[in-house]
């Protein structure tokens, strides 16, 4: 493809300009920015880019045919017309389908056919920049893409997304589902149905137990007081009291009887004893008189003596009984006095029937008290037994209630647990959805990283290798054989080969570095358009890289490149550009 | 006989608990039964059918007491309900031993039970869940008794894990109306003999659209059903088509005009269309604009594929497009996402070249 002529109007400062373009070298001289405008104007005319306003025509030749395009990009929509120049004149062709070389696109026009030395206007060392661009060309086919940065960017995105993942949510959800599944096995059928009745019953029982306890306590205190009083009066032996009561009863009766029957005898106990003692001899005397009278047959005397005998016998018997009664009364009195001393010590006793009766009465009361205490003890025992039974019942009821309470609490815990599990399930659901979305993004990033890495490897192995071979040949030629070529190692090291040495870009001079980069760019152009020489646009940076550099590049281009070359420079540099008759060029002044 | 068929009230559920409108949502769900009591009174409803999941989980005694208060307000309405897979019955649980008011019948058995209403010439049969899963449908193969009454079947479930049901077979078995529950979206079978009322109040942002219940009338002449809206609150999907000119600020301005602020609607934003590749919408800021339950960004960068196609064959960007772009007619979201991630990163690395793709 060869550009032959162009006219530009309203492209920035380029207004109403016409240029005839040479076959070989074109030195484009213009103030700062005008070269870029010129290139953009050509691109706009070729491709109809709406980003550049202006109008003009462009003519070119290709495969022996000539074409012309005319565009007005200042209008909306832009206008375009195209023709093919034939011997018969102009033939209309479609402006939308111009016969351009394959692969010639705005992108390849701007990024492949236009060459700008690396390092110019960028930060960092020119050698580093040069290496980066060449390696990018070799591994990506695009010198502007830094694959390491790209992959790092993707991995950083992936890291950020992974950080947002909540991996515990899935485990927690599984635990929640397990919990819910376990919850549906719950069984509370053993829980009491009469919960309230049981509670009321227990309350009644407890009230009754309290009453019994109080009664029992009261009775116990009473019994203890009475028993203490009895003990104080030495009445702690109910059997002895009972026996003494019987004795006192007998004594009271006996003494009363004696006093009633022998009230007078007590005043003459000696006379009674005397008469009692004398009655036996008198009786014996009358018996002798009776016997003697019968023997002497004095029957009258015998009869009188017999009467006397029987009278003496009667007196003896009477006074003998009196004497016995007196003896018994004395004995009883002594016993009575003993009992009175035992039970009524404060009492001044005479041993009378009256005292015996009082003692009997006293002991009767004591005995009754013992009986009362026995009865109360029996009642107390009954109450104790009842209390014990109630307490036993209460314990059973309480145990039952406690079991019910435990079951009820278990049920309430279950209800609470299921509620919480449901709430947690609802809360986890959006987290899981978010996790899923994040995982999909992460998977997409994984795929992107893998794909780019794989594509990079394939690029390096396929077009990259061909690129390096072609660049090596050009590099060897440009440097006049000083360098045999260039190598790109498996670990992405760029090395220039010279006399058996392998030199990194940092070891190369600026000129050699520029030559190296130029070699790769030209190699790229040859790979893209192997059969058709394309116009080459050399940025102003090449013109300013030094005479030696420029001379070597131009020399090589003249001998080895069949396409047009547009070398952009400033008017000042253009003026000082040496005129070399071996390298004819057309100078085009833009300003 | 006028009846209301509802299900899945899920009392106790707390939708969107972590959002500003969460308490209002919880309140609406909690008061659903109270509103049904009002409607039963206003509409002179004879029978209220609740086909399972009245509660969101096995209810506590307190929840049952609250429900009793509402049932007691339904002076002329009888209530028949079953327990579903959420409020299933366990032996001895509060639900199973609860003594409901006289007008309420819980069909608590795991097998089909029937309660008759001869005064209306109808009976209602149903069964309750005793766990979350019920793979055998107790109503399958059962024919209603030939007693001259019209037969209503309460059926909670329908999917393989929850009382799987063949509605056609059930209808052929002789049921006059199959009052279903479990699925939260309303539906009515073609013959109009089986209906799923859905939740009266939506419970999640996926339950978009209107929610309500069926008001039916059954007599000797047959069955008539009418759908009534119940929910005071709606989840909607708000689709917004993004253009390359849309910015975060313009999107926010649009949403401020569009979003309801009376609390009656919560939107899930779905952004579609093509955006400027350099623009990334801030979902957090959009969520803060008002009742927005979530933001789904389905927008794609507005790349000019023709420009991408102009790249050299071996250019990594073009090869990445060729490698990752799904084939025509092939929906592969993963590859598409990967492609856009790759392009974003490559263009960012290329730096300053993105405008080429617009």
Q: Model confidence over A449-498: pLDDT tens digits?
A: 999 999 998 988 888 888 999 999 999 999 989 999 998 887 878 899 99
Question: Measured between CA atoms, how close is B172 to chain A, in angstroms?
Answer: 33
Enclosing H/E stretch for A62: strand A55-62
The DSSP bridge pattern shows strands B122-126 and B113-117 to be antiparallel
Cross-chain CB nearest to B57 (options A108, A151, A422)? A422
Contact A104, A457 (CB under 8 A): no
Q: How confident is the model at residue A569 (pLDDT cuts 50, 70, 90)?
A: confident
Please indicate if any CB of chain A lies within 8 Å of the CB of B86. Answer: yes
Do B243 and B257 reside in the same domain of the chain? yes
End-to-end Cα, chain A, rounded Å: 26
Q: How confident is the model at residue A281, as a pLDDT?
A: 87
- pLDDT, one tens digit per residue, over B139-164 is 998 999 888 899 999 999 999 999 99
Judgement on whether residues B247 and B189 belong to the same structural domain of the protein: no
The H or E element that residue A354 is part of is helix A353-461
The backbone torsions φ and ψ at residue A99, rounded to the nearest 5 degrees and listed phi first, read: -80, 75
B14:A153 CB<8 A: no
Confidence label for A580 from pLDDT (cuts 50, 70 and 90):
low
Which carries the bigger pLDDT value, residue A272 or residue B65? B65
Closest CA in chain A for residue B352: A144
Tokens read off for B212: 């309500």
Q: Which of A415, A416, A451 sits opposite B342 (nearest CB)?
A: A451
- Quick one: B101 and B224 in the same domain? yes
**CATH number of residue B14's parent domain:** 3.60.21.10
pLDDT tens for each residue of A237-255: 888 888 988 998 998 888 8
Within this chain, do residues B7 and B84 fall inside the same structural domain, yes or no?
A: yes
Q: Tell whether B334 is within 8 A of chain A (Cβ).
A: yes
Residues of A in contact with B60 (CB under 8 A): 412, 415-416, 419
Rounded to the nearest angstrom, the minimum Cα separation between B195 and chain A is: 27
User: B319–A191: do the CB atoms touch at under 8 Å?
Assistant: no
Interface check for B29 against chain A (CB to CB < 8 A): the answer is: no
Domain spans, chain A:
233-351
> If you write DSSP's letter for every residue of A15-57 in order, what string do you get?
-SEEEE--SSEEEEE-STTHHHHHHHHHHHHHH--TTS--EEE
A120 pLDDT higher than 60: no
Which one of A207-221, A482-496, B70-84, B191-205 scores highest in mean pLDDT?
Answer: B70-84
Element (DSSP H or E) covering residue B349 = helix B333-350
Q: How far apart are CA A144 and CA A111, in angstroms?
A: 9
- B285's enclosing H/E stretch is helix B283-287
Check whether residue B145 and residue B239 sit in a common domain: no
**Average predicted confidence (pLDDT) for chain B:** 91
How sure is the predictor about B238, in pLDDT bands with cuts at 50, 70 and 90?
very high
Q: Could A415 and B60 be called an inter-chain contact, meaning their C-beta atoms sit closer than 8 Å?
A: yes
The gap between the terminal CA atoms of chain B, to the nearest Å, is: 67
Alpha-carbon distance values, A65 to A60, A61, A343, A463, B220 (Å)? 8, 5, 166, 31, 93
Q: What mean pLDDT is predicted for residues A118-141?
A: 79
Domain boundary residue, one of B229, B254, B288: B229
Q: Is B17 on the interface with A (CB under 8 A)?
A: yes
Answer yes or no: do B85 and B181 share one domain.
yes
Point out the domain boundary residue: B173, B199, B229: B229
Please say if the pLDDT value at position A122 is more than 80: no
- A299-343 and A353-461 helices cross at what angle (nearest 10)? 30
Whether B253 and B191 share a structural domain: no
Asked if the C-beta of B57 comes within 8 angstroms of chain A's C-beta atoms, the answer is yes
Q: Are B185 and B174 in contact (CB under 8 A)?
A: no
Q: Are A325 and A262 in contact (CB under 8 A)?
A: yes
Nearest to A528 among B97, B131, B312 (CB): B312
Helices A299-343, A269-295: inter-axial angle, 10-degree rounding? 160
Same domain (yes/no): B165, B306 = no
* Residue B194 and residue B153 in one domain: yes
> Cα–Cα distances in Å, from B41 out to A143, A411, A536, B72, B211?
79, 35, 90, 12, 20
Helices and strands (DSSP H and E) totals, chain B: 10, 16
More confident residue, B261 or A470: A470
Torsion angle, alpha carbons of A217, A221, A224, A228, to 10: 170
- Answer yes or no: are the C-beta atoms of B267 and B295 closer than 8 Å: no
The predicted model scores a pTM of 0.71
Q: Which of B195, B229, B263 is the last residue of a domain?
A: B229
Let me know whether B47 and B139 are in one domain: yes
Residues of A in contact with B338 (CB under 8 A): 444-445, 447-448, 451
CA-to-CA distance for A24 and A553, rounded, in angstroms? 14
Q: B45 and B131: one domain?
A: yes
Q: Which domain holds residue B316?
A: 234-357
Number of domains in chain B: 2
pLDDT of amino acid A264: 60
ipTM for the assembly:
0.87
Q: Do A47 and A106 touch, CB atoms closer than 8 A?
A: yes
Cα–Cα distance between B311 and A143 in angstroms, integer?
13
Least confident of A539-553, B36-50, B153-167: A539-553
Helix (H) or strand (E) holding B239: strand B234-242
pLDDT band of residue B356 (cuts 50, 70, 90) is very low
User: Based on the domain organization, do B72 and B190 belong to the same domain?
Assistant: yes
């Amino acid at each position: 493809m060869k550009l032959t002529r162009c006219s530009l109007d309203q492209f920035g400062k380029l207004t109403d300009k016409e240029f005839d373009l040479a076959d070989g070298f074109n030195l484009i001289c213009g103030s700062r920015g005008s070269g870029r405008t010129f290139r953009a104007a050509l691109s706009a005319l070729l491709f109809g880019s709406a980003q550049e306003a202006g109008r003009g025509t462009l003519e070119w030749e290709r495969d022996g045919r000539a074409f012309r395009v005319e565009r007005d990009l200042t209008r909306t929509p832009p206008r375009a017309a195209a023709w093919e120049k034939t011997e018969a004149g102009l033939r209309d062709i479609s402006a939308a389908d111009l016969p351009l070389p394959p692969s010639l696109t705005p992108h390849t026009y701007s990024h492949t056919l236009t060459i700008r030395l690396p390092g110019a206007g960028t930060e960092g060392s020119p050698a580093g920049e040069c290496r980066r661009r060449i390696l990018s060309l070799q591994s990506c086919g695009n010198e502007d893409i830094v694959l390491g940065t790209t992959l790092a960017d993707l991995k950083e995105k992936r890291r950020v997304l992974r950080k947002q993942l909540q991996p515990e949510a899935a485990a927690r959800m599984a635990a929640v589902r397990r919990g819910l599944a376990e919850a549906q096995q719950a069984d509370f059928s053993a829980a009491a149905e009469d919960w309230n009745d049981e509670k009321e019953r227990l309350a009644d029982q407890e009230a009754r137990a309290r009453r019994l306890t109080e009664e029992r306590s009261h009775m116990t205190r009473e019994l203890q007081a009475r028993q203490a009083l009895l003990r104080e009066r030495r009445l702690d032996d109910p059997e002895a009291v009972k026996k003494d009561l019987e004795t006192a009863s007998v004594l009271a009766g006996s003494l009363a009887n004696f006093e009633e029957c022998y009230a007078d005898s007590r005043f003459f106990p000696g006379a009674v004893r005397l008469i009692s003692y004398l009655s036996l001899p008198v009786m014996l005397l009358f018996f002798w008189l009776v016997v003697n009278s019968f023997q002497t047959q004095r029957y009258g005397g015998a009869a009188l003596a017999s009467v006397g005998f029987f009278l003496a016998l009667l007196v003896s018997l009477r006074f003998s009984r009196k004497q016995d009664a007196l003896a018994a009364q004395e004995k009883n009195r002594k016993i009575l006095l003993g009992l009175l001393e035992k039970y009524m010590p404060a009492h001044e006793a005479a041993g009378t029937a009256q005292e015996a009766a009082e003692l009997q009465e006293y002991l009767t009361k004591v005995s009754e008290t013992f009986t009362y205490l026995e009865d109360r003890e029996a009642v107390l025992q009954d109450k104790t037994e009842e209390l014990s039974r109630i307490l036993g019942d209460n314990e059973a009821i309480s145990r039952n209630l406690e079991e019910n309470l435990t079951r009820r609490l278990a049920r309430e815990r279950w209800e609470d647990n299921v509620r919480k599990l449901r709430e947690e399930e609802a809360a986890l659901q959006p987290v899981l959805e978010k996790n899923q979305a994040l995982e999909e993004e992460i998977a997409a990033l994984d795929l992107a990283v893998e794909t780019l890495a794989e594509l990079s490897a394939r690029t390096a192995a396929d077009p990259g290798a061909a690129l390096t071979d072609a660049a090596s040949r050009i590099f060897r030629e440009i440097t006049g054989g000083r360098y045999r070529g260039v190598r790109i190692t498996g670990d992405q090291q760029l090395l220039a080969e010279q006399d058996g040495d392998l030199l990194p870009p940092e070891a190369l001079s600026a000129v050699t570095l520029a030559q190296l980069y130029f070699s790769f760019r030209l190699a790229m152009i040859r790979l893209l358009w192997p059969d058709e020489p394309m116009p080459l646009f050399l940025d102003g940076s090449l013109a300013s890289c030094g005479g030696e550099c420029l001379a070597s590049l131009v020399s090589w281009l003249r001998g080895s490149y069949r396409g047009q070359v547009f070398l952009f420079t400033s008017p000042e540099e253009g003026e000082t550009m040496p005129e070399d008759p071996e390298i004819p060029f057309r100078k085009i002044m833009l300003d | 006989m006028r009846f209301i068929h509802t299900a899945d009230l899920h009392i106790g559920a707390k939708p969107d608990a972590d959002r500003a409108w969460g308490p209002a949502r919880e309140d609406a769900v909690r008061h659903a039964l109270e509103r049904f009591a009002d409607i039963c009174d206003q509409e002179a409803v004879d029978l209220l059918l609740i086909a399972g999941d009245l509660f969101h989980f096995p209810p506590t005694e307190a929840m049952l007491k609250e429900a009793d208060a509402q049932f007691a307000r339904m002076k002329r309405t009888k209530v028949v309900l079953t327990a579903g897979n959420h409020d299933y019955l366990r032996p001895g649980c509060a639900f199973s031993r609860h003594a409901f008011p006289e007008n309420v019948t819980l069909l608590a058995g795991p097998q089909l039970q029937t309660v008759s209403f001869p005064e209306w010439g109808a009976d209602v049969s149903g069964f309750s869940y005793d766990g979350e899963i019920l793979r055998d449908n107790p109503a399958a193969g059962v024919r209603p008794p030939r007693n001259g009454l019209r037969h209503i079947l309460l059926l909670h479930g329908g999917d393989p894990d929850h009382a799987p049901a063949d509605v056609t077979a059930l209808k052929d078995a002789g049921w006059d109306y199959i009052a279903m529950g479990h699925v939260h979206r309303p539906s009515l079978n073609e013959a109009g003999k089986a209906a799923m009322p859905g939740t009266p109040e939506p419970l999640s942002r996926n339950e978009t659209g209107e929610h309500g219940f069926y008001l039916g009338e059954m007599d000797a002449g047959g069955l008539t059903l009418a759908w009534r809206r119940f929910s005071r609150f709606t989840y909607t999907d708000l689709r917004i088509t993004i253009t390359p000119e849309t910015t975060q600020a313009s999107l926010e301005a649009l949403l401020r005009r569009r979003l309801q602020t009376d609390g009656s609607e919560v939107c899930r934003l779905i952004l579609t269309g093509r955006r400027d590749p350099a623009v990334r919408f801030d979902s957090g800021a959009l969520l803060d604009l008002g009742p927005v339950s979530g933001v789904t960004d389905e927008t794609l960068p507005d790349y000019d594929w023709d420009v991408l196609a102009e790249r050299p064959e071996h250019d990594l960007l073009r090869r990445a497009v060729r490698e990752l772009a799904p084939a025509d007619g092939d929906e592969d979201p993963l590859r598409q996402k990967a492609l856009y991630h790759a392009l974003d990163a490559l263009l960012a690395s290329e730096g300053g070249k993105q405008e080429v793709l617009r």
